[in-house]
Amino acid sequence: MKRLNPHKPQLERRIVGSTNRWRFPREPFLGDLLALSQMCKAVNVDFDEVLKNPDRLCISQIQKNFPENLKNKAIQSGEAGVILECLGFRWELHQPQLFQSETLTKLYMMALARGNANPEKELEKLLQAQLPGKIKEQRPVKKMIVSLKINDPLVTEAAFAVALQNLYQHEVKVSVDDVLGVLAAAHILQFRSLFQRCVTTMMNGLTPSTIKSFYLAGCKYKEETLTTACEKWMEMNLVPLVGTQIHLRKIPQELLHKVLRSPRLFTFSEFHLVKTLLLWVYLQLNSKTQTIPTYETVLSFFSSFPKKCCFLDRDVGQNWMPLFLCLRPHGITPGKDLEELRHINFSPESWLVRVIADHYLALENGGDMAHVKDLTTEGLRFGLLFNQEYTAHSKVIAVYGFFFEIKGIKHDTTSYSFRMQRIRHTDLEFASSVYEHSPISLRAERLVTYEIRAQTLVDGKWEEFTTNQIKQKFGLVKSSCKSHALKIQTVGIPIYASFSFVFSLS
């Protein structure tokens, strides 16, 4: 076996006899080994019984007594007292550092119980041997061998070395590239402080390429803060970022389902969300595709299936039916978009028939959306992604003959406002491109229930701002055409601004 000494910031290979050793510059610390037996007395636990059954002792209580000693007192003897056999290597460790790891503590205590008639007395000897006044009287440390089997494929030799190095140096940097393996090693070692630092690194390192592996790690190790952070990041970035990259293929269906069900999901429009989901399905079925296909390619692919039944009713599509049930198809109002969905024969015809029927009913009743009962789960949703370069950003939307401009304005370096405003069709720039082949309502007032929400990431935490739900009559004159403004103060960029509304019954 190779012998490794983990308390070194840089690895340096030396050949000693026929054995490969890895050495580190030494920065070890003294730990009060007597605290182990004293802790047992404090919690009324028999020390000898603990050694026979280490699970009886609360390791976290012991660890509270060690940190300051570990940081401030140097081990007088540089010789390691414990050899850890793991991953085909022999790792040289000092006893005090073991107590930061619950797993190593238990292994050490069991080995101590097996090898000594009086384990408590042996601990006292180990402590006395390290006291400054006893330096000249030291005898060679009798090395104790403990073994640890690891079956987790995420734990590599390099990741395990970094984890053990953190027993000696608490601020060893863990890169995003290595963090999965170090997290896995910290989990096996039950090295909680390192595990939490890895979680923080992962939460700050979420990208389209890392989201899958970090989310699955959170699920595997039952780390709710990490899985929640992944879900929240996906809620904001599914459509504008992940949906534009080949990494969309890797998004697990479970995560996608959670995100689609979230009322905080950001999308530019309902049709953007539909196209993103169609692209995800396409990528599942075309595993050799290495670049994002055009939307026309996706449409052609689904159109190529026989027309005898829709895609979601086929065996291959039924597993994905729950994802599409999370969508709000009534939010797709342009006839052109609905015709595209009908042409590819993707979803059951009854779905489109219901959507079209609801649209006709709303038009006949002046825009009233009798088919929408709840703003949070059924409201029409649109979004603006407000980036660094914008001082103002807006978009015009048309629904049942009514036209609204959703707009964001940057007032200074940290001050922003978002609002929606009803406008006349005659006031639109490039008007024909917006309302061509669309109905135009001449109603002077329109009752709307709406909510404006803005979300942005600041120092690893999401800031959320909202107007809450507001019911208001929108007219065409200056005094009544504007919504309440959502005014926010933040240093976060980009800002994900969501506008959700329902035309309430008049």
pLDDT digits (tens, 9 = 90+) for 457-475: 999 899 999 999 999 999 9
Give the residue from 364, 397, 417 where a domain finishes.
364
pTM summary value? 0.83
Give the residue from 309, 338, 364 where a domain finishes.
364
Q: Name residue 339's amino acid.
A: E
Confidence check: pLDDT of 162 > 50: yes
Confidence grade of residue 168 (pLDDT, cut at 50, 70, 90): confident
Inside any domain, residue 173: no
For the chain, the average pLDDT equals 83
Measured between alpha carbons, how far is 1 from 454 in angstroms, rounded to an integer? 57
* The token pair that represents 175 in the structure block: 């890169």
- Averaged over 423-437, what is the pLDDT? 68
Confidence check: pLDDT of 317 > 70: yes
Distances (CA, A) of 129 to 30, 99, 133, 135, 330: 11, 18, 9, 7, 77
Quote the pLDDT of residue 284: 96
Inside any domain, residue 209: no
Quote the pLDDT of residue 173: 84
Q: Do 93 and 157 have their domain in common?
A: yes
Inside any domain, residue 443: yes
Task: Give the chain's count of helices (H) and strands (E).
Answer: 21, 15
Measured between alpha carbons, how far is 378 from 264 in angstroms, rounded to an integer? 12
Q: Do 45 and 114 have their domain in common?
A: yes
Quote the pLDDT of residue 439: 82
Give the residue from 132, 165, 198 where a domain finishes.
165
Q: Do 279 and 342 have their domain in common?
A: yes
Confidence grade of residue 48 (pLDDT, cut at 50, 70, 90): low
Quote the pLDDT of residue 118: 57
Confidence check: pLDDT of 245 > 60: yes
Q: Do 32 and 128 have their domain in common?
A: yes
For the stretch 13-46, pLDDT in tens is 322 222 334 333 333 332 333 444 444 554 454 5
Measured between alpha carbons, how far is 224 from 170 in angstroms, rounded to an integer? 24
Q: Do 460 and 347 have their domain in common?
A: no
Q: Do 135 and 19 have their domain in common?
A: yes
CB atoms within 10 A of CB 134: 13
Tell me phi and psi for residue 235, to 5 degrees: -60, -35
- Higher-pLDDT residue of 103 and 124 is 103
- Lowest-pLDDT range, 17-26, 150-159, 385-394? 17-26
Confidence check: pLDDT of 12 > 70: no
Measured between alpha carbons, how far is 302 from 298 in angstroms, rounded to an integer? 7
Q: Do 353 and 433 have their domain in common?
A: no
Inside any domain, residue 250: no
Q: Do 149 and 287 have their domain in common?
A: no
Give the bridge partners for 454, in sequence order: 465, 497
- Averaged over 60-85, what is the pLDDT? 56
Percent of the chain with pLDDT over 70: 77
* The token pair that represents 449 in the structure block: 């229930």
Q: Name residue 344's amino acid.
A: I
Q: Do 353 and 405 have their domain in common?
A: no
Tell me phi and psi for residue 143, to 5 degrees: -75, 135
Q: Do 339 and 416 have their domain in common?
A: no
Inside any domain, residue 24: yes
Inside any domain, residue 211: no
Count of domains observed in the chain: 3
* The token pair that represents 179 in the structure block: 């963090």
- Averaged over 190-206, what is the pLDDT? 94
Residue with tokens 């009886």: 56
Give the bridge partners for 465, in sequence order: 454
**Residue range(s) defining the domain that contains residue 488:** 375-503
DSSP-derived secondary structure letter, 281 = H
Q: Do 300 and 347 have their domain in common?
A: yes
Using an 8 Å Cβ cutoff, are 333 and 399 in contact? yes
Q: Do 335 and 388 have their domain in common?
A: no
Inside any domain, residue 221: no
